[in-house]
Amino acid sequence: MESGFSFVRSRITGSGLVYLGRAWGDHSRVIFSYTFMDKVVIPEGWNSWGVQRPETSGVYYGEYRCSGPGANWTGRVHWARLLTYEEAQPFLGTYYVYGDSWLLGPP
């Protein structure tokens, strides 16, 4: 699956409580890298939104080198991933969204 959301060097702040993402069917994919997460992030972090056994349905939720009180992995759902550098690498640059073709414009 080559779609999803990748948030790099972002901040999650505000009031109330939030999930980092929820499954929008099988193969949902969301990655947060180098993101500051304030205490508004629910400890579980992610919501399966009714997807049965998200760990086997292709749902892919990952975090890489995030900081702040909401980045604490105590209480995270067991099917979320704390990514290694190698696992995070494909999501860190613009190539994940084919950025060279639309962010940089024509040559």
Average pLDDT value for the chain: 83
The whole-model pTM stands at: 0.83
Distance CA 40, CA 105 (A): 37
Is it the case that residue 66 has pLDDT exceeding 90?
yes
The per-residue pLDDT for range 14-59, each reduced to its tens digit, is: 999 999 987 666 677 899 999 999 999 999 998 877 766 666 567 7
* pLDDT given for residue 47 in this prediction: 84
CA distance 33 to 47: 19
Query: Which of the four pLDDT bands, split at 50, 70 and 90, describes residue 106?
Result: low
